[in-house]
Structure 1
């Protein structure tokens, strides 16, 4: 199913609502003020998403938090950062010095919590506004290549929503990506749900 500009705008609006709620929760947890914005959303094949991310992130390895979702839609949701950006984000939020041994010890837990809050905010926004039921698995932290994060066998034919996420904290801008991987068939169900609620979103 092809996606229109209006449908992508609606998806971006829903995702921005979700990350806005996530930012509010994160601000309650830390002393720093976090502004979280989604400047664009794209609907891509796995191969196209890989090409886009490979051009932007030249790291061999990315830090990611992923969780699975089932229900009206099923697939995988993830939040990914270059490893340096992930370390910087954790250092700012926890007060640990970049490069310290203690930072590595807290990074996994901190990023897992950030990923869990952001992804649940996004999926909760989709679920609530579109009136669809979604279940989630527990978040999993991993560091891997872009290719392995995107192009596993069962995801190669999937449709991917790629949303750039900009975290602005105390004049520091950190860019990551929210990736929603919809397994074959369920992306059409998402777009049909968007069409049904377009008036509510706007």
Structure 2
């Protein structure tokens, strides 16, 4: 497994936090109630360990996922996963539908796909812009299944991959909605990502040294 240093992990978490902040700003415009998104922790896993970790957090039978593939300087895919209760609560809040309304399912796919697209694009755009690397994005797709089936349906799961797991907490008044953000990188692509982070950290360090002179 590719090792990641504490500095690299801190930098990557900062990139993700910036992207989450931008996504929160866009979601704020969709709501009358301010929304905050925060990522309390970023962790790196291989496939089997990720399955075990998610099994501890998510209902193994029912959850929703928005998936978006990316390519360019880095290749892989990103997923935003919601347990059933969190998904329903978020959709009800965004659409004004009652959580028990039979119409909720009719608007769920479009609503969650839009939210996933905003959040994932915010994160990937932040990484791309801050590292000055080009990335292209596929159209987002919506899925409902068990955690294991969803991960196995992602073709990147079948090759050497690195999984970055971030728990996204949607803070809206007293309502806490929790989702999981998974960034999936091919091994060579992840190594290139770390190399780009190292170059960026070196530039920051050089700039600080010049400023101190």
* TM-score, normalised via structure 2 length: 0.90
Who is 2:50 aligned against?
Answer: 49
Structure 1 distance, partners of 2:58, 2:81, is: 10
Q: CA deviation at 1:15?
A: 0.2
**In the alignment, which residue of structure 1 is the partner of 2:8?**
7
| SS of equivalent to 1:128 | helix
How far, CA to CA, are the matches of 1:186 and 1:131 in structure 2? Answer: 15
Aligned Cα root-mean-square deviation (Å): 1.6
Name the CA distance, whole Å, in 1 between partners of 2:4 and 2:156. 22
Q: How many residues align?
A: 202
Of 133, 158, 161, 1:158 maps to 161
Pick aligned residue for 1:192 from 179, 182, 195: 195
8 A contact 2:30–2:94 mirrored in 1: no
Q: 1:179 aligns with which of 178, 182, 192?
A: 182
Structure 2 segments unaligned to the other structure (5+ residues): 209-213
1:22-171 aligned within 5 A: 22-152=23-153, 154-156=156-158, 157-171=160-174
1:47 shift after superposition: 1.3
CA distance in 2, matches of 1:102, 1:37: 30
Residues 169/158 of structure 1: CA separation in 2 closer, same or farther (3 Å cut): same
